[in-house]
Amino acid sequence: SLQYFFQKNRQNLIKNKILYPNYFYKKTVINNLNHNSLADKCANLDLYPFFSLDKYFNQINKQAIKYNCHSIILSGESFFGSPQIWRINNENEFYEEYKKKLQRLYNYIKNFDLHLILYLLPPEKWFESVVSNVIRYSGTLGKKVYENDEQFFSLMKPHLNYLELLNLWSKIINPHKFDVI
């Protein structure tokens, strides 16, 4: 709902000097609902529109300058959710890859006054949502990820360790203000 609101109100936000960035491919607006592709690129996943991190942030900076925006809103579930555990060998590697994702992001945002707001689903709701999405998109994942709830829950445990992940965000990103809802 928030991402839909931000997308539909981009121009109103710009009038108030707040940027909810778009991406452009060959001067054509992509009109993205969220910034998951940027978040996934921070996690070293190369998804549409297949930009480098430099290109993503160059586009964001150009828009902020063009519209004289003092604030930028980035929103995407993949900022907290990537990397995908089924692409990794074990839990320790997941946390190492998660740290690398945050360090890549930090390199681009470290000079800004950051207010980080995380909306977290209760773990059981998050798990239910992920199960249905993984089953729905299982043909595109390249391997069978879901076998049954018990197996999948065991696989997803690192994603559900909210405290550990929040501590990494606090330590690596070190936002000026940090709200968890």
Task: Name the least confident of 90-94, 102-106, 130-134.
Answer: 130-134
Q: Specify the 3-state DSSP secondary structure of 142.
A: coil
Phi, psi values for residue 75, rounded to 5°? -140, 130
Specify the DSSP class assigned to residue 69.
-
CA separation for the pair 48, 123 (Å, rounded): 28
Is 129 within 8 Å of 121 (Cβ atoms)?
Answer: yes
Q: Residue 1's pLDDT band (boundaries 50, 70, 90)?
A: confident
Instruction: Please say if the pLDDT value at position 46 is more than 90.
Output: no
pLDDT of residue 166: 97
In whole angstroms, what is the distance from residue 46 CA to residue 62 CA?
A: 22
Q: Please state the rounded mean pLDDT for residues 23-52.
A: 92
- Residue 102: the pLDDT is 98
Q: What pLDDT score was predicted for residue 133?
A: 85
Indicate the pLDDT class of residue 13, thresholds 50, 70 and 90: very high
Question: Does the structure show a pLDDT above 90 at 140?
Answer: no
pLDDT at 141 over 80: no
According to the model, what pLDDT value does residue 74 have? 97
Assign 37 a pLDDT band (cuts: 50, 70, 90).
Answer: very high
Cβ(85)–Cβ(156) below 8 Å = yes
99 by DSSP, 3-state: which? Answer: helix
Q: What is the CA radius of gyration of the chain?
A: 17
Residues 12-37 have a mean pLDDT of 94
Whether this model's pTM surpasses 0.85? yes
Phi and psi of 4, rounded to 5°? -60, -45
- State the residue for tokens 């991406």: 23
The mean predicted confidence, pLDDT, of the chain is: 93
Q: What percent of the chain has pLDDT over 70?
A: 100
Cβ neighbours for 141, distance < 8 A, ≥ 6 positions apart: 86, 134
Q: How confident is the model at residue 168 (pLDDT cuts 50, 70, 90)?
A: very high
The pLDDT assigned to 50 comes to: 92
